[in-house]
Amino acid sequence: MHRFPFAVLSMIAVLAMAVCGCAADSGTAGVSAADDEAGSVSADPAAQAAVSAEADTTSADAVTGSAAEAADSSMEETSASQKETSESAAAAVTFDEEAAKKADDAEKALGTYEPDLPDGPVPSDLAVEAIPDLSPDFICGMDASSALAEENSGVRYFNEGGQEQDLFRIFADAGVNYIRLRVWNDPYDDEGHGYGGGNNDAETAITLGKRATANGMKVCIDFHYSDFWADPKKQFAPKAWEGMSVDEKAQALHDFTADSLSQILEAGVDVSMVQVGNEINYGMSGEKSGSSQYQLMEAGCRAVREVSEKYGRDLQIVIHYTEIDHPGNLYVLVNRLNEKGLDYDIIGLSYYPFWDGSLDNLSDVITKITTDYGKKVVVAETSYAYTDKDGDGMANSFSGSDAVEGYPLCAEGQAKMIRDICAAASGAGALGVFYWEGAWIPVGPTKAANTPVWEKYGSGWASSYAGSYDPDDAGRYYGGSSWDNQAFFDFEGHPLPSLSVWKYLRYGSTAQQ
C-alpha cells in the first residue's frame, strides 16, 4: 500500500465531503530523523542532498557516507548476535516430508488452469508495442487483496464476452501470472468489526490465494506486520504486540510469519514470494531505530527460510521500499542490509509514475541495485488512471492534474503507461511488475447509500471501526475506494481494453481498424 489513504487522503476526503471533488497527493514524505543507533538517513536537508549526490556517483562501499559511520558499534554486536541465532535456528529446522506432502496434495487438489495466450502478434482493440527480449518468466502481477470484500459487497466482474466470471480467471486470461495479497495480523476491533481495506487477515489470503492457484497463478504474500495499513507514514505495531520489548516483538513476528505461512501453504496456495514488511523506509511494527528494525526483519526472513526448508519450497524473500525519487536514501538502506548480512533475495520497489519520478530514474535504480548490490528487483506496486472521474462518492487519490505527459487518461493511456513501466523494468533486469489493486471498483454509484456496505464488508479503504486503531486518519476520514479510477474495470465491473496489455507485452498487438 502506498501513500494515498492516510494523512494526504485526509485532506482529500475533506474536499470530497464538501464538494465531491478530486485532489492530488501532496507528494513524497520527507526523510525522518534517525536514532543514534539507527544508521538511517539524516532528516537534515543538506545531509540528504549530500548522501543522495554521493550515492548516485560513488561505489556501493561509499554509498552510506556519514550515515553508516554514525551507527553505534552496539548495532554491529547486535547484528553478529542475531546472525548466530539465525544460523543456529535455521540449522534446527529440517525438511518435513509429511508437511510437504500435505501442502503439495492440497495444491494439486485445487486443479490447474492454463490460459490460451497469444503466441505471436494479434489484432486487437488495443495497440501494444512488444517489449524486446522479455523474459519468459517475467512477472505480470496483480495485487487483488480487496477482491473478497468487494464480492461480499455485491460487486461482480465480467469477462470480455460480457459474462460474469471469477475475477482470477479473468486475470489469468488477460495474461496475469502472479497475484499479490496483503496480510494484516488482526484487522478487527474488540467486537469483531473489520477495519476495512479488504479486512485482509491470513484467512482472507487463503481464500483468495486458493483461487489464484486454481487459475494457474503464483502468489506473493505481503506481510505488513500491522493490524492495518503500513506505509512510509505509519508502521503501527499489531495490538497484540503493544508493550512488548524488541526481543519479544521479534519472536512474535517470527512466530506469526511461520504460523501464517504454514497455514497458507497447507491450504494449497502456490506461494513463491514473501514480503517481510511493506514500504519500510522509516520503520516497521512501531520500531523506528535501525537496529530494532533490522532485528524484526531478520526474524521475519528467518521464519520464511525455516518454512521454506520445512515444506521443500523455494520461497523468495522481498524487502519492500518506496520513494525511489530519492535514490540516494534508498541506496543507503539497501547497502546497510548487505552490510548487516540480512538473508533475503529481492528488493521490492513501489513506483507510481505520478509520484515517484521518471521511467529513466526507475531504470537507473533497478540497474544500480542489481549490479552494485547483487540483489534481484521487482516493482512491487504501480498503477495509473484511465479516467479522472470518481465512481463511488469517495474522492480519488489520482486527479486530472496527476496525469503524466504522453499518457492520456483513457484505457489506451493506461495500457501504454503499464507497457512502458514493464519495458523499463525488463530492460534494467527486474523480475517483473505488480499492479496495485486493479479490481478495486465501486460497490455502488456515487449517490448510492454505500457507507453501510463499506462498514459491513470492509470494502472501502477504511471503516469507522478502524478509528480505535488509527484515530488520526481512519478514525476521521473513513470511506470507500479512492482507487476506482485506476482499476482495469469500469465502475460496473466490465473489463477495460487496457486489462489485455499483460498478454500483449511479449508479442505486441495491432489496433483493429
Q: What is the pLDDT of residues 365-410, one digit of tens each?
A: 999 999 999 999 999 999 999 999 999 999 899 888 999 999 999 9
The pLDDT assigned to 84 comes to 56
The pLDDT assigned to 93 comes to 83
Residues with catalytic annotation? Answer: 279, 381
The pLDDT assigned to 91 comes to 55
Cβ-Cβ contacts under 8 Å for 417 (sequence gap 6 or more): 353, 384, 404, 407
CA-based Rg of the chain, rounded to a whole angstrom?
22
For the cut 90, the answer to whether the pLDDT of residue 42 exceeds it is no
Q: Which of 55-69, 106-120, 208-222, 236-250 has the lowest mean pLDDT?
A: 55-69
Confidence label for 60 from pLDDT (cuts 50, 70 and 90): very low
Confidence label for 88 from pLDDT (cuts 50, 70 and 90): low
End-to-end Cα spacing for the chain = 39
Cβ-Cβ contacts under 8 Å for 26 (sequence gap 6 or more): 8, 11
C-alpha cell recorded at residue 218: 503464483
Of 509, 386, 507, nearest to 136 by C-alpha is 507
For the cut 50, the answer to whether the pLDDT of residue 19 exceeds it is no
Confidence label for 287 from pLDDT (cuts 50, 70 and 90): very high
Three-state secondary-structure class, residue 228: coil
Average pLDDT of span 483-497 = 97
C-alpha cell recorded at residue 494: 466490465
Distance CA 285, CA 224 (A): 8
Distance CA 210, CA 113 (A): 12
The whole-model pTM stands at 0.86
The pLDDT assigned to 56 comes to 41
- Burial level of 111, CB count in 10 A (0-12/13-18/19+)? exposed
H or E stretch including 181?
A: strand 178-183
The pLDDT assigned to 2 comes to 42
Distance CA 489, CA 164 (A): 13
Task: Return the half-sphere exposure (C-beta side, CA atoms, 13 A cut-off) of residue 229.
Answer: 28
Cβ-Cβ contacts under 8 Å for 97 (sequence gap 6 or more): none
The pLDDT assigned to 83 comes to 53
User: How high is the mean pLDDT of the chain?
Assistant: 86
CATH 3.30.2420.10: does it fit domain 7-21+96-511? no
